[in-house]
Amino acid sequence: MDALQTLSALPKVDLHVHLDGSVSPESLIALARYQGIPLPTYDPPQLHPYMQIGEQGCGSLVEYLAKFDFVLPFLQTADALAYVATETVRQAAEHGAKYIEVRFAPQLHRERGLSADDAIRHVIRGLKLGERQFGVMARAIAICMRHHDGEANLEVVEAASRYCGHGLVAVDLAGNEAAYPASLFRDVFARAQGYGIPITIHAGEAAGPDNIAEAVERLGAARIGHGVRAREDDEVLALLRDRRIPLELCPTSNIQTRAVSGWSDYPIRDYVEQGLLLTVNTDNPSVSGTNLTNEYRVLAERFEFTPQEIKGFILNGVEAAFLREHEKEQLRREILEFGAL
Ligand SMILES: [Zn+2]
């Protein structure tokens, strides 16, 4: 096996992958044909500009998020949600994933009559089918959207409470961070905390470290999505380190959304040295044109992480997973027993 094959085969976890950012052009064409919704082209490579950030990246998180508008109309039925959930598991399995947490916003899948509960139920159904077919444990995370009102987000938390422990493991907050600071969502996440649902929050990606502190100290976040801007505040760095709050880094996405200016400015080495608990994830394989193997390849090439350091990131992912201890132990064993590194 060459180095890339070894990296691909290495057992991995992905804790931060969006369902609507994982729809391949081939899947979209299948959904379009089945549902009778027209596409501008039925040639997969020609769909890329509509669905994927190009080589040049994009201007901001807001531009990045616009790519999701193209696929969402196709994800409004029970079967479409289940199908893309299973496909997300299949794609992860191709890159050695043994455990994934797939996140999605139930309220964005209701244009054709599904309830928030329906959306969650059918995503879990698709994930479970993927588990059986591809041997990857897969759980769901329900996202509250920053641009939605409190009522819509409380509805998500209520629905999530009914599936927590039954295929769903957490709730999240996502969307335009710069326009909607974390502090606007105290009521929503107080409800989630009341139900004991684990919480992860996108913070310190398109806005500053205050959002990270707010997410951890007020909203009850046990993990932070991205958090690349934590370095702007030493107190926030200390908070993350002392409480062992894992960061869900998504390197390719973080470069594309301009969360950092470029690879030379990506703080991963710095964060390792500061003792932060770092995990490596894909965010949106289709939108970002990436996969788990590629994320680790980039880190190994650009930052000279050794195979042991790569394994360390994966083991951090296991530690940070919203799983029970015996499930984590099984994953740890699989990773540690992988001999080719
Ligand atoms: Zn994300």
pLDDT in tens, 317-332: 999 999 999 999 999 9
Confidence class of residue 341 from pLDDT cuts 50, 70 and 90? Answer: low
Run of H or E residues at 139: strand 137-145
Residue 55 has pLDDT above 90, yes or no: no
Summarised one tens digit per residue, pLDDT across range 125-172 is 999 999 999 999 999 999 999 999 999 999 999 999 999 999 999 999
From the list 101, 131, 177, 205, the catalytic residue is 205
Residue 205 annotated among the catalytic residues of the structure: yes
User: pTM of this prediction?
Assistant: 0.97
Alpha helices, DSSP H, located in 17-136: 25-35, 44-51, 61-66, 68-71, 78-94, 116-134
Per the structure, the count of domains in the chain is 1
What is the spatial distance between Cα 35 and Cα 13, in angstroms, rounded to a whole number?
32
Report the separation in Å between the CA atom of 286 and the middle of ligand 1, taken as the mean of its atom positions: 13
Q: Reduced to 3 states, what is the DSSP secondary structure of residue 200?
A: strand
Q: How far is CA 294 from CA 23, 91, 120, 297, 299, in A?
A: 17, 13, 29, 5, 9
CATH number at residue 182: 3.20.20.140
**Residue 229 DSSP class:** G
Backbone dihedral angles phi then psi of residue 15, each to the nearest 5 degrees:
-95, -10
Extract the tokens encoding 235.
Answer: 């107190």
Instruction: Report the residue count for the chain.
Output: 341
Q: What angle do CA 300, 311, 225 make, to 5 degrees?
A: 80
Report the separation in Å between the CA atom of 171 and the middle of ligand 1, taken as the mean of its atom positions: 12
Report the separation in Å between the CA atom of 18 and the middle of ligand 1, taken as the mean of its atom positions: 6
Q: How many CA atoms lie within 13 A of 13 on its CB side?
A: 30
Question: How far is residue 188 CA from its own chain's centroid?
Answer: 20
Structural domain range at position 151: 3-337
